[in-house]
Amino acid sequence: MRQLESYFPKLRLVARGEVIKFTGAPEDVASFEEKLDLLLRHIRKFNVLTAPQLERIVLDDSPSILKSLSEGDEVIVHGVNGHVIKARTANQQRMVNAVGANDLTFAMGPAGTGKTYTAVALAVRSLKNKEVRRLVLTRPAVEAGESLGFLPGDMKEKLDPYMQPLYDALRDMIPAERLVQYLENGTIEIAPLAFMRGRTLDRAFVILDEAQNTTVSQMKMFLTRMGPSSKFIVTGDPSQTDLPPRAASGLPHALRLLGGMKGIGHIELDGRDVVRHPLVRKIIAAYDAEGQKSMAARTAREANQEPSKN
């Protein structure tokens, strides 16, 4: 209620149990009623309303908000023990709609916005509905300050930690015995990106996760694996690249090169879509602000730098 009051300072809002009373100028009352209706529709559709979601609905006047609350299948897939998995924010619903309308979809956003989880849920749904024969989930095996050579075990044991988020999502959606069976018979394949070279992936639902850690040549290699009846999702967070300083990320290059191409969807999630602990959103905002200050300072230094003398 305090957050709502901050957005409608000219109204007097009073909550009594399940009743909200509000008084003010007719135009302010009309605006509040419209937003309150959208909030209630969001709760009925997604069964959750976080502070970031409330902010997005109240402050976003675009028709896409209403469209996202009116369209799309509420439940993506029923997971283990009857767990219902569905879009929890308007942008996640846009991602679901984009994947349904396109054979290749890029889903960008910071940590915690549900990119990977939503992508895996869509892949599992396609497998359960027999729309595809197999799932291929891949990530670039890029070290974040730790070398593969220092990890114990054989190649699979060295690579598994990089694939753990994909395993975690699958365990929520597929019973343990069935998941083991799928992994053993190749119905579900989880592999590092390097293992994709030279293959054609047809009648498969393919997810490239952590795509910001691909090089330009790796991204081209991955995208050209598409078979005639495949569905591809590329997820990534451009702000968290673990590539060496001089290595160019293939993700922004692909977005620039393929932007606007028919059959390719592009969804942007942001801090308001974070569905982890509320602190995650604040952490992301702090890092973004610090990055913007650093970029502004670097730009100022370059602008003030005198031309070098020959």
Which of the pair, 254 or 69, is modelled with greater confidence? 254
Verify that 98 and 30 share a domain, yes or no: no
User: What range defines the domain where residue 86 resides?
Assistant: 77-271
Residue pLDDT, tens place only, 271-286: 777 766 667 767 877 8
263 located within any domain: yes
Verify that 139 and 228 share a domain, yes or no: yes
Strands 188-192 and 134-139: parallel
309 located within any domain: no
Q: How confident is the model at residue 150 (pLDDT cuts 50, 70, 90)?
A: low
Q: How confident is the model at residue 165 (pLDDT cuts 50, 70, 90)?
A: confident
Residue that the structure tokens 């109240």 belong to: 58
Which of the pair, 213 or 162, is modelled with greater confidence? 213
CA distance 173 to 262: 31
Verify that 85 and 127 share a domain, yes or no: yes
What is the pLDDT, as a whole number, of residue 177? 92
CA distance 193 to 212: 12
Q: How confident is the model at residue 166 (pLDDT cuts 50, 70, 90)?
A: confident
Q: How confident is the model at residue 143 (pLDDT cuts 50, 70, 90)?
A: low
Instruction: For residue 84, give the CATH number of its domain.
Output: 3.40.50.300
Residue 280: which H helix or E strand, with range? Answer: helix 278-304
| Backbone angle region of 186, left / alpha / beta, with phi > 0 → left and psi within -120 to 50 → alpha | left
Verify that 149 and 241 share a domain, yes or no: yes
Query: Lowest-pLDDT range, 31-35, 53-57, 62-66?
Result: 62-66
Verify that 261 and 279 share a domain, yes or no: no
Classify the C-alpha dihedral 111-298-106-243 as positive or negative.
negative
Mean pLDDT across 140-157: 57
Q: Check residue 308 and report its DSSP letter.
A: P
Mean pLDDT of the chain: 83
Verify that 57 and 135 share a domain, yes or no: no
Verify that 118 and 46 share a domain, yes or no: no
Verify that 26 and 115 share a domain, yes or no: no
Verify that 7 and 87 share a domain, yes or no: no
Verify that 260 and 296 share a domain, yes or no: no
Classify the C-alpha dihedral 237-238-242-248 as positive or negative.
positive
Verify that 181 and 96 share a domain, yes or no: yes
Which of the pair, 143 or 62, is modelled with greater confidence? 62
Q: How many domains does the chain have?
A: 3
